[in-house]
Amino acid sequence: MAQHPANTDIAAALAEAQEHYRARNPRSLAQYEEACDALPGGNTRSAIFVDPFPLTMVRGEGSRLWDADGHEYTDFLSEFTAGLFGHSHPAIRRALDQALDSGINFGAHGPAEARFARAIRDRFPAIELVRFTNSGTEANLMAVSAARAITGRDKILVFAGGYHGGVFYFRGTGSVINAPFEFLLGTYNDIEGTRALVEPHRDDLAAIMIEPMLGGSGCIPATKEFLDDLRALASETGAVLIFDEVMTSRLAPSGLQGVHGIRPDMTTLGKYVGGGMSFGAFGGSAAVMEWFDPRRQDGFQHAGTFNNNVLTMNAGYVGLTEVYTPERALTLNAFGDGLRERLNGIAAAKRLTMQFTGIGSMIGVHMTDLPIRSAADAAHGNSALLDLFYFDLLAHGIWMAKRGMMALSIALDEADADKLAGAVEEFAATRASLFKGTRS
């Protein structure tokens, strides 16, 4: 197939940007080559691999990161939402130091876990009882498994583009190592299509699991109408409605369920809620969660050596009650909405086929001007232009995910927003000609 001249130009520009990247980062390259000796592809987190090689970060402070070659970056990724507090927030550090001073591994109940659980319950009204895990993946695995056990059914409704952890991956073509459940794969924001998909399986539907905004697939919000209909569908069929708010709980004081006024049967949490430590949680109505009461003869088993580890219990409590208060959540997400509007204004002024999606402190970058309501819509974007955007912004000291994801931390300020906007303006000015012929 003949290649459009504009796309040829994009390929040449991308090759040049990658060559510049190689030349600037010899120590990261050496570190990567060393890592390949002990790790498959030098990697233990698929999402952070970058071709031709990933950068190695060696230090973080506040909103800044430094790589092995001494380059400084403003961190607009905040560890894929987990680093909401910035690097080494003093209150989080103090909580960790206090925990370390008292000992770490008790093999017993401790006071911190009950205190933290009450704080979560108070923050998220749909969570009447909660249990802790070590990751969002574990939390979703426990929630889905519980739904299957409670209902005696097998089918799980999920949505294309969804990411619920390492064994619940539904981006692109999915993953052959997903948990071996019977999934129904729906289209995000498609009410009629979802109901048609479910109709033959109504009596065998155990759970509906959804991110109220697709995170890893480009920060694509669900409409209130769609989420309302899923609540109705779950009630009609007797399925358990699970809101995966591992990422989106940061977007409002009580998450997107609070914004939309929808009460799921179960909610899963992770990332920043644990103070940025290894953490996950699943909770919900007492009727669901009481199945995990060890005093019940027929109760569900749920073990985990580090579920109540004192580092996370203390850091999470301080982070949720002292640092990321409801008022701070409103402030950060208003900041994010303003920044997104500003970035979209830059793209519109240059008439680029480019847009910034999301809600509040989560931002997705897309190289298309078509409406984006699903992962399939996002796939229309020009991936080579997105790669070029990534390398150009790295050269300007902006740290983000290569797939076009940003998540803001409370350490960022207006000067940081100006820096990002300036980098986007320069990209728009210097790369505008490459967008010709890419009109949607």
Q: What does the radius of gyration of the chain's CA atoms come to, in whole angstroms?
A: 22
What pLDDT score does 436 carry?
A: 82
Give CA–CA dist 113/73, Å, rounded. 36
The amino acid at 89: H
Please give the model's pTM, rounded to 2 decimal places: 0.96
Helix axes 224-237, 191-198, angle to 10 degrees: 20
Residue by residue, pLDDT tens for the chain (440 residues) are 334 445 569 999 999 999 999 999 999 999 999 999 999 999 999 999 999 999 999 999 999 999 999 999 999 999 999 999 999 999 999 999 999 999 999 999 999 999 999 999 999 999 999 999 999 999 999 999 999 999 999 999 999 999 999 999 999 999 999 999 999 999 999 999 999 999 999 999 999 999 999 999 999 999 999 999 999 999 999 999 999 999 999 999 999 999 999 999 999 999 999 999 999 999 999 999 999 999 999 999 999 999 999 999 999 999 999 999 999 999 999 999 999 999 999 999 999 999 999 999 999 999 999 999 999 999 999 999 999 999 999 999 999 999 999 999 999 999 999 999 999 999 999 999 999 866 55
What pLDDT score does 89 carry?
A: 97
What pLDDT score does 1 carry?
A: 35
Domains and CATH numbers, the chain: 90-323 (3.40.640.10)
Give CA–CA dist 377/320, Å, rounded. 35
